[in-house]
Amino acid sequence: MRRILAVSGGAAVGAAAVLAGHALAPATGTTARPDRAETSGLTPGATASSAASPTAGRPRLADGTATGPLIETFYGPVQVRITVVAGTMTEIVEVKLPFEHLHSRWIRANLVPQLRQRVLTAQSADVDVVSGATYTGQGYLASLQGALDQLS
Amino acid sequence: MSPRGVVRAPACRRMPRRRPRVVDGLAALAGAGFGAIVAQWVVTMPSLTGGVANVLLAGAQLAGLVGAYLALVGLLLAARVPVLESTVGLDRLIAVHARLGRWTLLSMVAHGTMVTLAYAALAQTGPLAQFWTLVTQYGWVLPAAAGLGLMVIAGVGSWWRVRRRMKYETWWTLHLTMYVGLALAIPHQIVNGAAFVGHPVAQALWLALVGLAFGCLLAFRMGLPLIRALRHRLHVVDVVEETSDVVSVIVAGVRMDRLPIAGGQFAHWRFLTRGLVWPSHPYSISGILPDGRLRITVRTSGDHGRLLRRLRPGIPVVMEGPYGAFTAHARHNGCPVTLVAAGIGITPIRSLLDDLPPKSAPTVLHRAHHEEDLILGHEIDTLVQARGGVLYRLVGHRDRQPINEQRLAELVPGIEGHELYVCGPPGFAAAVLAAARRLGIPRHRVHAESFRLHPVDSRRPGRR
């Protein structure tokens, strides 16, 4: 009985310590901390079209398609292609995403769509990287910026 | 010098101590690790709203983390950590180890299955194709899958239904692959695990735990026995015929007063002669002679026991141990002592009697099928008399000489206030323990030693 109390008490303390550690860690180092196994494994060509939110006032983008530069990230190369219709970015295709790591498919299913949505909403590469996909996300945005520059 | 007759333990012997606080502390630490692992999972798991694949993946990650953590705890339980050996005792540690083992393997198999299914769902491929992708394309997953296979095979071998059909040597060797399998499974966690990739602190702590577990295993199961064998230069000095099928082996060495050992403990023995090196066998210490020589008393009906008859003086000995909390130090202050043994189970009780103080008045119940099976009878008699105690010899088949609660209460008035030590075959030990429970003896005052690395449980018959 006493031992069960010891084990469960310990478990509570251990869990609290880890949660506290995570709560405190961003306060000290928010910027370049890759939060999660970050990676992405899109089989090349996986596309994601999305209804563009027609945010007015920003664009000056020429219509057409542009492929951004290939950006080497910690986890592998990242490259995106964008399509602009009527001055609005309507589609982003991930031409290349790293896929060496086990979480590639998870990131592909979860984080890349989020990032894509943020970019389409903001109509710019100036968005926050999705937590958990820091390296891939930075590469993604860099390649995207290159593509945007081509169409400006 | 004959090992018979009353012998006293050397006065300056190092004794193991009762340290329940330490055990509580370690239990809390184990709990803390578990809590930390689960919390780390909560922080790093995929969101559960992303469909069935995400839920599967989250479950797989939890199962993997819990399985790996339990495996490392199980490893530590079996690593013969001295403080655990002398406070909890090997047989109870192994019982917990075996119980944990089942959950460990279940978690790990669940992990592998769910990871495969989750990624198959995300990639929209079949489970087999996905499994192939996982083992061929992801770092260290192939070794991990192979390791899991090894662990499952070794785990099935430890299932009592399978194990009782195996020779001890076969099982022992098979169980070694468990360590190999676990070692193979470690790297893929660090390389691919969501809880660890990008979390340097978690990685460092996890590797420290892995290092601790394997380090303890190597240090206490290989290093320490070897160091002791060399330092004490243990060797056989005599083999004494006790009865037609029981022999005693006397082992001597140098600086034996530095060996922490108590009456009632046992060790895993290797004799460096053909057939007795690999693997080791557990035998109780049946006597610690005044000059520090150790004696084991063994039934020679088994394969291994028969070989012991061929031992000659001078053969080097490697001893893993001593282990066990079945000692006089486990006794609570002032409690009268009752010791119950069946057959060869008298051996640890014989050496434990040495450690009981002169006026302790122990009650000894010694059961055997035949008169000649009452081995060491004369020594027991002398020791009990010298301590003002009583010895009951119960000879006959277990149906005619049952040791149940009526019998215990009748032979030992006021037994519910006693410290009870039980040693014998698992079925016997389980029966006496059940009787003790019904008599209302608190669990912390009941000490049992069953000879096998088996939980004391009557449904699981031992091998010998």
- Over residues B399-434, the pLDDT tens digits come to 787 888 888 888 898 888 889 999 988 788 888 989
Supply the pLDDT for residue B421.
Answer: 92
Which of B73, B93, B119 should we substitute to test contact with A (largest number of A Cβ atoms within 10 Å)? B119
Does the beta carbon of A117 lie under 8 angstroms from any beta carbon of chain B?
no
Q: Which residues of A touch B23 (CB under 8 A)?
A: 3
**Chain A closest-CA separation from residue B329 CA (Å):** 20
The DSSP element (H or E) to which B361 belongs, if any, is: none
Closest CB from A7, A13, A38 relative to B198: A38
Q: Which residues of B touch A36 (CB under 8 A)?
A: 44, 194, 197-198
Neighbours of A31 (CB within 10 A): 6
How far apart are alpha carbons B398 and B368 in whole angstroms?
A: 8
Helix (H, G, I), strand (E, B) or coil at B390: strand
B68-79 pLDDT, tens digit each: 999 999 999 999
Q: What is the ipTM of this complex?
A: 0.72
CB-based contact A18:B36 (threshold 8 Å) = yes
Q: What residues contact residue B225 under an 8 Å CB cut-off, 6+ apart?
A: B318, B319, B320, B321
Supply the pLDDT for residue B332.
Answer: 77
**Chain B closest-CA separation from residue A94 CA (Å):** 16
Read off the pLDDT of each residue in B181-202 and give the average, rounded to a whole number. Answer: 88
pLDDT at residue B84 above 90?
no
- Closest alpha carbon to B251 in B227, B274, B267: B267
**Chain A closest-CA separation from residue B216 CA (Å):** 21
Does the beta carbon of A62 lie under 8 angstroms from any beta carbon of chain B?
no
- How long is chain A? 152
Residue showing tokens 């299932």: B159
Encode B150-182: b = buried (16+ Cβ within 10 Å), e = exposed. bbbebbebbebeebeeeebeebbebbebbbebb
Chain A residue at shortest CA distance from B205: A18
Q: Which residues of B touch A9 (CB under 8 A)?
A: 28, 31
Cα B412-B413-B415 angle, rounded to 5 deg: 70
**Chain B closest-CA separation from residue A74 CA (Å):** 11
Read off the pLDDT of each residue in A55-71 and give the average, rounded to a whole number. Answer: 75
Q: Would you give the end-to-end CA distance of chain B in angstroms?
A: 32
Closest CB from A21, A34, A110 relative to B46: A110
How far apart are alpha carbons A89 and A99 in whole angstroms?
A: 26
| Full-model pTM | 0.72
A102: which 2 tokens? Answer: 């086990």
CB-based contact B225:B316 (threshold 8 Å) = no
Neighbours of B117 (CB within 10 A): 19
